[in-house]
Amino acid sequence: MTIQTGLDYLRSRGSIVDCDTMDEEVAEVLGPFQDCTSNQAIAYNELRKSKHAELLMSALTKAHSLISEYPDLTVIELAIEIAMVALSLRMVPHITGRIHIQTNPYYSYSTGKTIANAIRLVKLASILCPSHPQSRISIKIPSTWEGLMACQYLEKAGIRTLATTLFTLPQAMLAAEVGCTYVAPYVNQLRVHFEEDFKDPSPALPLVPLIQEYYTRESIKTQVLPASLTSTEEIFFLAGAHHITIPPKLLDELSKPLEDGFSAASLFKSPGFDDFAGTRKPTSFVNDESGYRLAVARDAKGKSEEKLAQAVNIFCDMQDKLVSLFQQSK
């Protein structure tokens, strides 16, 4: 293929380019892409745009008509899910693959609630767009023990899952064991996107090729989809990852013509990488909850578990903002 832009370059290295947005105008202008990822923060920043006032009201109306089926939910909680599904479905004309919709972060430590939430999101998609096949929906679930147990149930039920907020190899190992279709290693702590002066002191770039090499060596089909990226430099380092999901600002930068003589290093070709990955022996966590929790707690001397808790907290904060947004629209 002719390589003219950064997006061309990524694709030439075998990476599938996904968009990390719910703004259909971005996908229409810069796409098509394969998959479309989203979360509560992306949903909030999109739904608060004045152009979506009608969508907010229609979601509330639909929620009122369906709430009797979900007595454990409030009307607003259901309306938020309806709006997130509706926004994702609007991206479908501009992608060739799946929409990824994230479960309520308040359920991150409840397997049962996460399962019910995932099934509900799939059902809502079928109500809003009966022609959209379930096979083109993936449910994003935080990579807690409880979340990954929910993924195991859902994958067996035929619902595709993505294990998100993933910061450690043990999380990736368990995600593969339970059959997740995708994992999303977070390169940067989530707070980099919410605190203007904060820069992650140690971006987890090497984790991405480490997981992918482990999956390749063990013949695991789970796809690696790095997320939480802050620069095109980080993205070029990850050229060769199965998927890369990219936010609008960086998509725009990558869509521009490359400079003459462009070259980029990739961590997938780092000297000695294969030897390092080869020292990792398969470990089973699926029947060892305490072992899994200890492995995550011990990773990076506790910093990885702290990043996971931080991400869950931030997404809960964004869920709260969505609730406030809908309350103001009533």
**Residues identified as active-site:** 140
Report which of 125, 315, 149, 162 is spatially closest to residue 243, judged by C-alpha positions: 162
Cα(180)–Cα(295) distance, integer angstroms: 19
In sequence order, the 6+-apart residues with CB closer than 8 A to the CB of 309 are none
**Paired tokens of 187:** 């390169």
**Paired tokens of 30:** 């810069």
Residue 148 CA, distance from chain mean position: 14
Instruction: Report in angstroms the alpha-carbon separations of 147 from 169, 227, 272, 287.
Output: 16, 18, 34, 15
Cα(257)–Cα(271) distance, integer angstroms: 29
Helix or strand or coil: residue 72? Answer: coil
